[in-house]
Structure 1
Amino acid sequence: MDISQALSALEALSSSTSTSSSGPLNALIDIHFNNAKSRILAGEDPKVVITELQKNVKTCKKDVEKGLKAWYGALGNVGKEVDRAFPPNLGAISEALSDPPLFSSPEASQALDGVILESLGRRGIWEAVEAMEEETSQSYSRSKRDLSSELQYIIESIKSSNLQPALQWCETNSRFLSSPPHPSSLPYHLHETVFKSINNQQDAIKYARSNMMGYVPSQPVLKLITSCLYDSSNSISSSTNGFGMNGSGMKGKLMNGKIIEDLNEAKEREKLEKLNELQKMFQSEFCRLHQWSKEDSLEVTVELGSRGGTLDKIEKARRVMGEHLGNVRKWEELPMEVPLPPSRRYHSVFVCPVSKEQATESNPPKMLTCGHVIAEESFNRLLKGGRRSVKCPYCPMETSQSVAQRLYF
């Protein structure tokens, strides 16, 4: 069978009443529906009429599906004959099937070594870093090594409930942490954790007055100080004493001990969760200060590829669509949607809301004090006329040229 024969068979189906879906549907509407209506109006039992009509609908459905099956078969034959008559480019097929090992080129291998070395350095695994430096031509700079050691030392201190190194770091970099457009709340949360760990109420209030009163405008400091005057654990203990006593009071004591034990476990869990949160907050601010990426790029890649299942979906698409779309490494866009968690949805393109132009390396996005973002060229145009600050196009807040921060997407 060639293309002309396949097309002739398809045209024959179009002129045949047996394979047309309109024939059974017209018969259902014009004959069976009208007949059922007339019988019901004539006084016949509606239940019997509706039952017969349902049978006719099912018969019509089968006739339509039978006709569509013939159409699908004829369309498939046409597609096969088109593929035979117009063979694809053999060069494109060989290129699509060629699948050299990953990171085989010198540039790709060097990039992979750099990412691994950076990840090991950020984690402070210095023996592995030294081994990588010996095996590759790359090196981890002394300045980065010192910063990574400082980061790991403070994080380990937070894990062990020693917040003093983190507080000293915040005091040293207080100007950066308090600078607009988004001042950091890390110092307050560190002081809050220390405050809650002080058992003596007077000492706790004294600590708050010395270290936390500057956060009153933005944080619930007064509410926190007031809350320490009420000890919930003592209240529960006193209210439980005598509950359910049967002469000896043994049941009340047992219940009281169980409640105290549960409270201690809850407090311990809350403490661990708070320390974990402080670790993440500190690492984020530390990386922001030194202009490091917020997260380890190797960790993000492994998490999305393995636990997120992204590599499985791409590999399946490569097998199914590789012959038509070419080598997967040359795809500019994925041919399917890959579900990602909100924290992993990165925006690589920014369009300035003022100029309606896409940002580039020479025209990067800049964030104003108020949090709105515009392109650098739009920001510079607003600075014309000798102005020292720019009024945001969307709100009345002004931003000086030295405060505007470049964003990296």
Structure 2
Amino acid sequence: MLRMSYYDTAVKLAESRNIQDFVDIDIFQEAKKVIEALQNMEVGPALAWCAENKSRLKKSKSKFEFQLRLQEFIELVRAENNLRAITYAQKYLAPWGTTHMKEFQRVFVTVAYKSTTECATYKVLFEPKQWDYLVDQFKQEFCKLYGMTLEPLLNIYLQAGLSALKTPYCYDDDCTKEDPLSQEGFRKLAMPLPYSKQRHSKLVCYITKELMDTENPPQVLPNGYVYSTKALEEMARKNDGKITCPRTGLVCNFTDLVKAYIS
């Protein structure tokens, strides 16, 4: 909820469950101020945040501050304050020239083209969506700074679980009701996710931990438990043809077993 900017709801949830000490509400409230300012086309709070975290951002080779400065320069050009824009570029953008010269040059040329240009290369720099890019960039820098994943962990766990369960058979009409993906809600959530890499189940013997296949087929005991032929033959050889289920203690003859076939 905090990641998706539902701050008030997140605070109420934390209070109702008494988990305030386990969540990062204060940190996200700090981010909220920056995001709201960027959405209102203001770079001041974002620049202040960069100044507070300057050493850590520098260590991660962040160029977020440079992007903020570029946008502030663009706004001066949009307002036709060209002289002020040039002065601003000399003071705040020129120091970045050694590492971001191409981006600096491209933005600086807008002084000649102005905000009304139809040239696609420069017109895009004046579009409102540039502020959306800054919001997204800030969220990435914010998560990186505090060691958070870009995607919420809840989403990651849910996607991993659904992907592990997802096979082509889940979408068949005769899909078993025990399969979670037989439910329409889970099917919709799993739709964009990849199928599980292992499409076919593997049967592993409880006794020997070996794979049960056509060379070592599974045998079914009268109580319904299944073990490999190799394990049960070894057991019968040592116990005069008797088989003891290691999980239930049932004793039966080897001749009572029923071979199961793997399709």
TM range (shorter): 0.5 to 0.7
Larger helix proportion, structure 1 or 2?
1
- The answer (yes or no) to whether the contact 2:73–2:88 under 8 Å persists in 1 is yes
Distance 1:269 1:205 in 2: 17
Please say if 1:195 is aligned against 2:73.
Answer: yes
TM-score normalised over the length of structure 2? 0.54
Does the aligned pair in 1 maintain the 2:115–2:123 contact within 8 Å? Answer: no
1:230 aligns with 2:112: yes
Q: CA deviation at 1:225?
A: 6.6
Which residues of 2 match residues 40-55 of structure 1 at below 5 A?
none
Go from structure 1 to structure 2 and tell me whether the alpha carbon gap of 1:177 and 1:335 turns closer, same or farther (over 3 Å shift): same
Distance in 1 (alpha carbons) for counterparts of 2:145 and 2:93: 23
Shift of 1:135: 5.1
CA drift of 1:156 comes to 1.2
Q: CA RMSD in A?
A: 4.0
Residue 47 of structure 2 is aligned to residue 167 of structure 1 = yes
Which residue is 1:314 aligned to?
166
Displacement after TM superposition at 1:301 (Å): 6.8
Contact 2:31–2:142 under 8 Å retained in 1: yes
1:214 aligns with 2:70: no
* Counterparts in 2 of 1:278 and 1:130: CA distance versus 1, 3 Å: closer
Q: Deviations for 1:62-92, whole angstroms, at most 9, x for unmatched residues?
A: xxxxxxxxxxxxxxxxxxxxxxxxxxxxxxx
**Which ranges of structure 2 fall in alignment gaps of 5 or more residues?**
182-195, 200-263
Paired position in structure 2 for 1:185:
63
> Which has more radius of gyration?
1
Q: Does the 8 Å CA contact 2:93/2:104 hold for their aligned counterparts?
A: no
**Structure 1 residues 126 and 192: CA distance shift in structure 2, 3 A:** closer
Q: Which amino acid aligns with 1:227?
A: V
Which residue in 1 is equivalent to 2:28?
148
Alignment-derived partner of residue 287 in structure 1 = 143
Q: Do 2:115 and 2:126's aligned partners in 1 also have CA atoms closer than 8 Å?
A: no
Q: Which has the higher contact order (CA 8 A, sep 6+)?
A: 1
2: CA distance between counterparts of 1:127 and 1:229? 43
User: Shift in Å at residue 289 of structure 1?
Assistant: 1.0
CA separation of 1:335 and 1:214: change in aligned 2, threshold 3 A: same
Identity %: 18
Q: CA deviation at 1:229?
A: 4.1
- Structure 1 residues 163 and 288, CA gap change in structure 2 (3 angstroms): same
Per-residue CA deviations over 1:200-230 (Å, capped at 9, x if unaligned) read 1110011111111211111126524751441
SS at match of 2:47: helix
| Deviation (angstroms), 1:174 | 1.4
Query: Residue type of the partner of 1:273?
Result: K
For the 8 Å contact 1:177–1:184, the answer to whether it is kept is yes
Query: In the alignment, residue 84 of structure 2 is paired with which amino acid?
Result: D
1:158 corresponds to 2:38 = yes
- Number of residues paired by the alignment? 177
Task: Tell me the TM-score normalized by structure 1.
Answer: 0.36
* Kept in 2: contact 1:201–1:228 (CA 8 A): no
Contact 2:35 2:135 in 1 (8 A): yes
Structure 2 Cα separation of the partners of residues 268 and 160 of structure 1: 19
Task: Give the superposition deviation at 1:196.
Answer: 0.9
Aligned partner of residue 230 in structure 1, secondary structure: helix
Q: Please identify runs of 4+ aligned residues in structure 1 that moved more than 6 A.
A: 326-329
String of CA shifts for 1:307-342, please: whole Å, max 9, x gaps: xxx77x92753476977xx9679xxx5534xxxxxx
Counterparts of 1:287 and 1:322, CA distance in 2: 40
What runs of 5+ residues in structure 1 fail to find an aligned partner? 1-119, 237-261, 337-409
Asked if the contact 2:7/2:29 (under 8 Å) is kept, the reply is: no
Whether the aligned pair in 1 keeps the contact of 2:74 and 2:107 (CA below 8 Å) is no
